[in-house]
Amino acid sequence: MSLNVVQPGMLTLLTDAGRLGQHRIGLTTGGPMDRQAFLWANRLCGNDLNATALEVSIGGLVLEAGVDTTLAVTGADLPLSINRRSAERWRTHQIRAGDRIELGFARRGLRACLAVAGGFAVPPCFGSTATVVREGIGGLDGQGSALKAGDQLPCQAHPQHPQWQLPEAARPEYGQAVTVRVIPGYQQAAFDPVQQAVFFSSPYTVSKHCDRMGYRLEGAAVQSELRGMLSEGICLGAIQIPADGQPIVLLQDRQTIGGYPKIGAALSLDLDALTQLAPGGQVRFAAISMAEAHNALLLARCRFQAIALQAPAPGG
């Protein structure tokens, strides 16, 4: 029993929440770029929040159901249709064997998430199903391959599954500008007060060099007093400043070590919105303390748990 890939789209990857605890052997984390979209898709389908789903970048995915199940699509604003009829995102849909599911190309945002009830039954590789193309690990074949036409995505039948939707007020809006909160790091002192002021007061533009490894930004150059340093571990959201002074925000498929000075680390919550920006999107940075970051994370977790899903309107 499976969903069959008719057309794989621009870049569609199987992923769970990420490959944790493997940096010691050089494997990055991987996982969904927009974590909130991933979590909501799984919650709508009644899944464990680590269940394997699809991340669909830009769009163009076409599937044919070989099983009766339930699915939900969250994330980027892209057209969703079932059997050529328009369907709503951020809610579940009952799918029957033979149905055709199509995701068009994103109008706002960049990445969508598609989950099915029970998740896709893909064997983990080093503790995770997350696809990392650069490392050749995870995914359907365990070798880091993006989906291709003819692939079969195994999943269980769920013919009588409750139907839910996320209230509209709780759905994120994707724009062309974001403010990313930054926790200054221990290398902050390597940037004098003027350079820090430049970084936190200047607008930056997402360059064409943006992918799952990191987002390169273009704007006012920032210079560090460090001229050489040993490579060290890299966390999610680390903001490196290379010799040209243009910030790089490191993301899910980042390298595990790096030797550029880091002015701080982006709050993980804000990476969801950042990774929905296409080249040309606008980014600003705002400094926050570690205590403020902890509070923001706890509040977001409580909010996620407190939001009640709704039953879709009859005929909706």
Q: How many CB atoms lie within 10 A of CB 140?
A: 23
pLDDT of residue 316: 57
pLDDT of residue 308: 95
What pLDDT band is residue 109 in, cutting at 50, 70 and 90? very high
**Cβ burial, residue 208 (10 Å; 0-12/13-18/19+):** exposed
With CA atoms as reference, report the closest residue to 41 among 60, 17, 61, 63: 17
The token pair at 202 is 């200047």
Q: Are strands 80-82 and 100-103 parallel, antiparallel or unpaired?
A: antiparallel
- The average pLDDT across 146-167 equals 92
- Residues 6+ away with beta carbon under 8 Å from 91: 44, 72, 163, 164, 165, 166, 312, 316
Q: How far apart are CA 261 and CA 223, in angstroms?
A: 10
Average pLDDT, the chain: 94
Q: What is the pLDDT of residues 190-230, one digit of tens each?
A: 999 999 999 999 999 999 999 999 999 999 999 998 877 77
pLDDT of residue 57: 97
Q: How far apart are CA 38 and CA 50, in angstroms?
A: 9
State the pTM of this model. Answer: 0.94
| pLDDT of 144 above 70 | yes
The token pair at 290 is 């570690």
What pLDDT band is residue 280 in, cutting at 50, 70 and 90? very high
Q: How far apart are CA 148 and CA 152, in angstroms?
A: 9
| pLDDT of 148 above 70 | yes
The token pair at 108 is 């706002």
Which CATH superfamily is 177-303 part of? Cyclophilin-like (2.40.100.10)
What is the residue extent of each domain of the chain?
A: 2-165, 177-303
pLDDT of residue 249: 98
pLDDT of residue 232: 85
Q: What is the pLDDT of residues 11-68, one digit of tens each?
A: 999 999 999 988 888 899 999 999 999 999 999 999 999 999 999 999 999 999 999 9
pLDDT of residue 138: 95
Q: What is the pLDDT of residues 75-94, one digit of tens each?
A: 999 999 999 999 999 999 99
- The average pLDDT across 256-269 equals 92
| pLDDT of 315 above 70 | no
Q: Could you write out the DSSP letters of every residue in the chain? A: -EEEEEEE-SEEEEE-S--TT-GGGT------SSHHHHHHHHHHTT--TT--EEEEESB-EEEEESS-EEEEEEEEE--EEETTEEE-SSBEEEE-TT-EEEE-B-SEEEEEEEEETT------BTTB---BTTTTBBSSSSB-PPP-TT-EEE----SS----B--GGGS----SEEEEEEEE-TTGGGS-HHHHHHHHHS-EEEEEEESSSEEEEEES----S------EE--TTEEE--TT---EEE-TT--SEE-S-EEEEE-HHHHHHHTTPPTT-EEEEEE--HHHHHHHHHHHHHHHHHPPPBPPPTT-
| pLDDT of 288 above 70 | yes
- Residues 6+ away with beta carbon under 8 Å from 60: 7, 8, 9, 10, 103, 104, 105
What pLDDT band is residue 97 in, cutting at 50, 70 and 90? very high
pLDDT of residue 189: 85
Greatest CA separation found in the chain?
A: 64
Q: How far apart are CA 113 and CA 53, in angstroms?
A: 7
Q: How far apart are CA 242 and CA 314, in angstroms?
A: 55
The token pair at 190 is 């390597």
